Amino acid sequence: MIREIDVKDISMHVENMLIDACENIPNNVLKALEDAKAKEESPLGKEVIDRIITNDLLARNSHLPICQDTGVVVVFVEVGYDVHFNGDIYEAINEGVRNAYTKGYLRKSVVRHPLDRVNTKDNTPAIVHVEFVPGDKVKIDVAPKGGGSENMSSVHMLIPADGLDGIKKIIMDTVFNGGGKPCPPIIVGVGIGGNLEKSAILAKKALFREIDDESKDPILNKLEKEIKDEINMLGVGPMGFGGTQTCLAVKINCYPCHIASLPVAVNIQCHAARHKSIIL
Residue 214 domain-assigned (yes or no): yes
Q: State residue 1's pLDDT score.
A: 86
| Domain-located, residue 53 | no
Q: How many CB atoms lie within 10 A of CB 164?
A: 12
* CA nearest to 90, candidates 46, 140, 55: 140
Whether residues 111 and 186 fall in one domain: no
Find residue 265's DSSP bridge partners.
155, 191
Q: Is 42 left (phi over 0), alpha (psi -120 to 50) or beta?
A: beta
For residues 247 and 121, membership in a common domain is answered with no
Can you give the pTM of this predicted structure?
0.94
Each residue's pLDDT expressed in tens, for the chain with a length of 280 residues: 899 999 999 999 999 999 999 999 999 999 999 999 999 999 999 999 999 999 999 999 999 999 999 999 999 999 999 999 999 999 999 999 999 999 999 999 999 999 999 999 999 999 999 999 999 999 999 999 999 999 999 999 999 999 999 999 999 999 999 999 999 999 999 999 999 999 999 999 999 999 999 999 999 999 999 999 999 999 999 999 999 999 999 999 999 999 999 999 999 999 999 999 999 9
264 Cβ neighbours under 8 A, 6+ residues apart: 155, 156, 158, 166, 167, 170, 171, 190, 191, 192, 199
Which residues touch 100 (CB under 8 Å, ≥6 apart)? 14, 15, 16, 18, 19, 106, 123
- Give the residue among 128, 125, 183, 198 at the shortest CA–CA distance from 151: 183
Q: How far from 222 is each of 64, 89, 91, 212, 251, CA to CA, in Å?
A: 38, 39, 41, 15, 11
Indicate the residue among 145, 178, 204 that finishes a domain. Answer: 145
Give me the CATH number covering residue 80: 3.30.360
Number of domains in the chain: 2
Asked if residue 172 and residue 122 are part of one domain, the reply reads: no
Q: Give the bridge partners for 73, in sequence order.
A: 144
Of the three residues 145, 164, 195, the one that is the final residue of a domain is 145
Name the packing angle between helices 89-103 and 7-23 (round to 10°).
Answer: 40
Pair 138, 192 in one domain: no
Whole domain around residue 254: which residue ranges?
148-273
Contact predicate 64/23, CB 8 Å: yes
Boundary-marking domain end, from 107, 124, 145: 145
Instruction: Tell me, yes or no, whether 108 and 187 share the same domain.
Output: no
Residues 137 and 211 in one domain: no
Give which of 124, 86, 89 is closest to 108, Cα–Cα.
124
